[in-house]
Each structure stands twice: as structure tokens, then as C-alpha cells.
């Protein structure tokens, strides 16, 4: 994988169960570069209608984590996703040489943007949790698909390009 500018990763889940405190407390979706930096981490925590974003240097004198950013999710949408699942998309919309910018969408609605401190494309994806499959907030298996933005249907490109 070479997740560079203009690409979209879609994580397709038949389940989005973030209610309560049963099962896994959180799951992480990480994109890593060739230097093993986590250039984008999305964390989904149970009991919160939010998602969290961060990045981490593989080598650092301290812990390597950057400042965490969060986005609120609409409770109405969360209830719908609990019933029918969700597609979480990450669009690499970088326009700078000095880092990567990611647009995060849930079912084609932009929930946030995240500016990574690290340049270069992601070459590896990690999906991590300490739970068993039936405790996961997202489905197992979690389907992952890669797209070039310009190959998607017009209505999907428009939703991504509008940024709303």
C-alpha cells in the first residue's frame, strides 16, 4: 500500500457499537509510514460519542505523541450506525510537503480534518484492540478498500470535495 495524496481508504463495518462499557474500551486504526511513525491514529472509545485522532513518532526522547484532537459524532447517526453499520473513510488531501492532511468521513459526512506532523505516504495499516471479536465496536472482519479519489462515483467525489 502507498496511501498518498488523492487516495481514500474506506473501512467498512457492519457494526458500530460504542454504547456502554462492555467489551473493548477502545480500538485503534493506525496508518504508519516507512519510518514506523504512526502518521494517523483514529481511536474509537466506548461510552463516548466521539472519535479521537493523534500521531506518534517511532523514535522520540519523550513519548512521541502529538496533541490529541477529537470530533463529536451526531447521536442520531450513532444510533443508525449501531443498527446498520458504517463506512469510515480517510481521504489523504495533503497539499503540503511538510506533513499529511487527512479528511475523516463517516458515511460520506466529514467529521474532522487531521494534520499529521509527518511527511510521506502511509505504507501500513494496523487495527488493534485488546478485545475478542464479539466485543469489538467495529465488525470482524473489518473490510478495508483503497480508492483513487478520481475513480469514485461523482456523488461520492462531490461529498468528499465539499468537505461537509
Q: Is residue 22 part of a domain?
A: yes
Q: Is residue 156 part of a domain?
A: yes
Q: Is residue 107 part of a domain?
A: yes
What is the domain extent for residue 114? Answer: 7-162
Distances, alpha carbon 3 to alpha carbons 10, 22, 79, 121, 122, in Å? 12, 34, 31, 5, 5
- Give Cα 155 distance to the centre of its chain: 21
What is the predicted pLDDT for the residue at 37?
A: 94
To the nearest 10°, the Cα dihedral for 32, 38, 44, 49?
-120
The Cα–Cα gap between 24 and 139 comes to: 12
Residue 41 belongs to domain with CATH number:
2.60.120.200
The Cα–Cα gap between 151 and 84 comes to: 26
Reduce the DSSP state of residue 145 to 3 states and report it: strand
Q: How many domains does the chain have?
A: 1
Q: Which pLDDT tens digits describe the chain residue by residue (164 residues)? A: 688 889 999 999 988 878 765 555 778 899 999 999 999 999 988 778 889 999 999 999 999 999 999 999 888 788 888 888 899 999 999 866 666 899 999 999 999 999 999 887 889 998 876 655 556 778 777 899 999 999 999 999 999 998 86
Q: Is residue 1 part of a domain?
A: no
Q: Is residue 98 part of a domain?
A: yes
Model confidence pTM above 0.85: yes
Q: Is residue 114 part of a domain?
A: yes
What is the predicted pLDDT for the residue at 23?
A: 55
The Cα–Cα gap between 107 and 31 comes to: 20
What is the predicted pLDDT for the residue at 71?
A: 94
Amino acid at each position: 500500500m502507498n496511501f498518498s495524496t488523492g487516495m481514500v481508504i474506506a473501512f467498512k463495518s457492519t457494526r458500530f457499537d460504542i454504547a456502554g462499557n462492555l467489551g473493548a474500551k477502545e480500538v485503534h486504526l493506525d496508518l504508519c509510514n516507512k519510518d514506523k511513525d504512526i502518521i494517523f491514529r483514529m481511536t474509537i472509545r466506548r461510552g463516548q460519542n466521539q472519535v479521537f485522532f493523534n500521531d506518534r513518532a517511532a523514535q522520540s526522547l519523550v513519548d512521541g505523541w502529538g496533541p490529541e484532537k477529537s470530533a463529536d459524532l451526531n447521536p442520531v447517526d450513532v444510533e443508525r450506525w449501531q443498527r446498520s453499520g458504517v463506512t469510515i473513510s480517510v481521504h489523504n488531501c495533503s497539499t503540503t510537503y511538510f506533513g499529511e492532511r487527512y479528511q475523516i468521513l463517516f458515511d460520506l459526512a466529514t467529521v474532522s480534518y487531521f494534520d499529521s506532523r509527518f511527511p510521506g505516504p502511509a505504507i501500513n495499516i494496523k487495527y488493534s484492540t485488546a478485545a475478542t471479536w464479539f466485543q469489538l465496536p467495529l465488525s470482524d472482519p473489518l473490510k478495508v478498500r483503497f480508492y483513487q479519489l478520481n475513480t469514485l462515483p461523482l456523488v461520492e467525489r462531490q461529498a468528499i470535495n465539499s468537505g461537509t
